């Protein structure tokens, strides 16, 4: 969704996706009654509460969740991840305030849908949120909204609230279908004709969430639609497998050209593979093979201040990618626990300075709480984690065989030309303006076959 893509086929989406990177939507498995998870590390719960409270400080009175605590812009993709984190925080701490905030976000999103089910980004002007008239994507925005609603419902079992969101749930499915092609894959949005693997991963899980919600609401026709759409998408992604690179092609352009993966690029190439695993698009044993390949190719992926190669923009700081950590947990990789400590320590050391966002905080909560009861992946699969890592107050180094990435070998894929990514308005208090490609916000990339500007 909204991460700034790093290839000719990467729009501003990469920018926010980067924000999105870290979050695999872990959903709570049940519960009409909220009660703290027992037993749980007090330090771990303190960390989750701290992150949740930080997100709450960015929520506006109308229910919208800004991308940062300066409350100067609302990027729905990030806000939905923040809401997922709040719902999960409520489940493990018993604090109903968190999930109430998630519900408020869902109602804000529904109220701001247009006739097609699309929602734009908003910015603050003279104390009022004003639409920018554009969005990073339509497929991932709709999908993450659906996941946020499912998370909130699973924590509370509030059928009354869920029923009031049925219009929005239906519209979100329509928004996804608006760009779904016969091959099952979705364009990022009507004016950006590129099919991203990252978007397919998020959208697939979003459609499964829609199916589940529709079944709960006894909307059988909608449930059937969502399930059919998800099935087509899964088949479409399977057709992206490239035996030459032992990975999925990470994008398909408007002329049907596939963009193959070069594992030397952290973003979007390698991370797209982690996304596919985290969101449930990969079956065993391939998912374990992809995670192993990911770790070997990108040993510093969980060290936010380390350097890595980004397609189209060279070396950049790694930034925050909790979603990849979910992929590790999903296959039982022992490095998953260390990644939690490493990512969080970097964020806290930087005092959650921009480009750390509310979306990052939400995804971080999902990753932190993955070892606690009730955690499930975006596609609603329960993953049993045998041990819960203790939160580390200092950076936890991860194994690294190459601290500084070397230049990649020439790739047959044409080198993309980065497109400028509009930076959010800095807060009056001095929130730094993000640098494209840094930390949580990736540079926007123009497609190899240029689509309409995003």
Residue 442 clears pLDDT 70, i.e. is over it = no
Strands 27-28 and 195-196: unpaired
With cut-offs at 50, 70 and 90, classify the pLDDT of residue 370. Answer: confident
Residue 307 clears pLDDT 90, i.e. is over it = yes
With cut-offs at 50, 70 and 90, classify the pLDDT of residue 32. Answer: very low
What integer pLDDT is reported at residue 82 of this predicted model? 98
Nearest-angstrom CA–CA distance, 250 and 350: 31
Cα distances from 231 to residues 32, 204, 235, 251, 328, in angstroms, run 30, 8, 6, 19, 24
- Looking at residues 193-202, what average pLDDT do you find? 98
- 256, 236 contact by CB (below 8 A): no
For residue 51, the SS3 value is helix
- For residue 130, what is the enclosing H or E element? strand 128-131
Residue 294 clears pLDDT 80, i.e. is over it = yes
- Looking at residues 47-57, what average pLDDT do you find? 97
Nearest-angstrom CA–CA distance, 55 and 85: 9
How is 143-211 classified by DSSP, letter by letter?
A: HHHHHHHHHHHHHH--HHHHHHTHHHHHHHHHHHHTTB-TTS-B-SBTTB--EEHHHHHHHHHHHHHHH
Residue 217 clears pLDDT 70, i.e. is over it = yes
What lies within 8 Å, CB to CB, of 254 at 6+ separation is: 187, 193, 194, 447, 449, 451
Which phi and psi (to 5°) does residue 30 adopt? -175, -160
Residue 218 clears pLDDT 50, i.e. is over it = yes
- 213, 146 contact by CB (below 8 A): yes
Predicted confidence (pLDDT) per residue in 53-75, tens digit: 999 999 999 999 999 999 999 99
Sign of CA dihedral 30, 34, 38, 42: positive
How long a stretch of residues is the chain? 454
What integer pLDDT is reported at residue 36 of this predicted model? 55
Q: What residues pair up with 10 in beta bridges, in sequence order?
A: none
Neighbours of 267 (CB within 10 A): 35
Predicted confidence (pLDDT) per residue in 339-368, tens digit: 999 999 999 999 999 989 999 999 999 999
Predicted confidence (pLDDT) per residue in 322-332, tens digit: 999 999 999 99
Predicted confidence (pLDDT) per residue in 424-441, tens digit: 333 333 333 332 222 233
What lies within 8 Å, CB to CB, of 191 at 6+ separation is: 451, 452, 453, 454
- 405, 264 contact by CB (below 8 A): yes
What lies within 8 Å, CB to CB, of 71 at 6+ separation is: 58, 60, 124, 427
What's the distance, Cα to Cα, between the start and end of the chain in Å?
Answer: 13
Q: Which two tokens stand for residue 91?
A: 């489940």
- Looking at residues 287-299, what average pLDDT do you find? 97
Residue 76 clears pLDDT 50, i.e. is over it = yes
With cut-offs at 50, 70 and 90, classify the pLDDT of residue 421. Answer: very low
């Amino acid at each position: 969704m909204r991460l700034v893509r790093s290839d000719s086929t990467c729009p501003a989406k990469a920018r926010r996706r980067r924000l999105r990177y870290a979050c695999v939507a872990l959903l709570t498995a049940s519960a009409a009654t909220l009660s703290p998870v027992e037993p749980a590390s007090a330090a771990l719960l303190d960390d989750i509460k701290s992150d949740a409270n930080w997100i709450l400080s960015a929520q506006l009175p109308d229910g919208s969740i800004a991308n940062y605590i300066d409350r100067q812009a609302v990027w729905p993709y990030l806000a939905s991840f923040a809401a997922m984190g709040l719902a999960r925080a409520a489940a493990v701490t018993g604090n109903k305030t968190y999930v109430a905030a998630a519900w408020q976000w869902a109602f804000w999103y529904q109220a701001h849908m247009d006739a097609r089910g699309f929602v734009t980004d908003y910015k603050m002007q003279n104390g009022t949120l004003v639409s920018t008239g554009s969005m990073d994507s339509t497929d991932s925005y709709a999908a993450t909204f659906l996941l946020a609603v499912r998370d909130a419902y699973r924590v509370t079992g509030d059928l009354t609230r869920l029923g009031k969101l049925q219009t929005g749930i239906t519209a979100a499915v329509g928004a996804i279908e608006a760009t779904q092609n016969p091959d099952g894959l979705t364009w990022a949005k009507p004016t950006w004709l590129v099919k991203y693997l990252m978007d397919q991963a998020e959208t697939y899980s979003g459609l499964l969430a829609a199916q589940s919600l529709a079944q709960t609401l006894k909307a059988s026709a909608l449930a059937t639609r969502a399930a059919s759409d998800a099935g087509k998408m899964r088949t479409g992604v399977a057709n992206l497998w490239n035996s030459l690179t032992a990975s999925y092609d990470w994008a398909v352009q408007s002329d049907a050209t596939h963009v193959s993966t070069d594992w030397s690029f952290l973003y979007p190439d390698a991370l797209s593979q982690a996304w596919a695993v985290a969101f449930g698009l990969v079956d065993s044993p391939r998912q374990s093979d992809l995670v192993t390949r990911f770790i070997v190719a990108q040993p510093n992926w969980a060290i936010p201040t380390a350097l890595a190669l980004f397609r189209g923009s060279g070396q950049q700081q790694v930034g925050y990618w909790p979603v990849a950590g979910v992929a590790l947990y999903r296959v039982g990789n022992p490095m998953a626990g260390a990644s939690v400590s490493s990512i969080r320590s970097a964020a806290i050391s930087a005092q959650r300075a921009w480009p750390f966002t509310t979306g990052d905080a939400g995804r971080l909560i999902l990753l932190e709480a993955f070892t606690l009861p009730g955690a499930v992946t975006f596609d609603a699969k329960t993953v049993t984690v045998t041990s819960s890592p203790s939160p580390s107050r200092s950076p936890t180094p991860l194994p690294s065989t190459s601290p500084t990435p070397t230049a990649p070998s020439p790739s047959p894929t044409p080198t993309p030309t980065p497109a400028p990514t509009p930076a959010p308005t800095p807060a009056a208090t001095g929130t730094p303006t993000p640098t494209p490609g840094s930390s949580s916000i990736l540079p926007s990339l123009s497609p190899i076959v240029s689509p309409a500007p995003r």
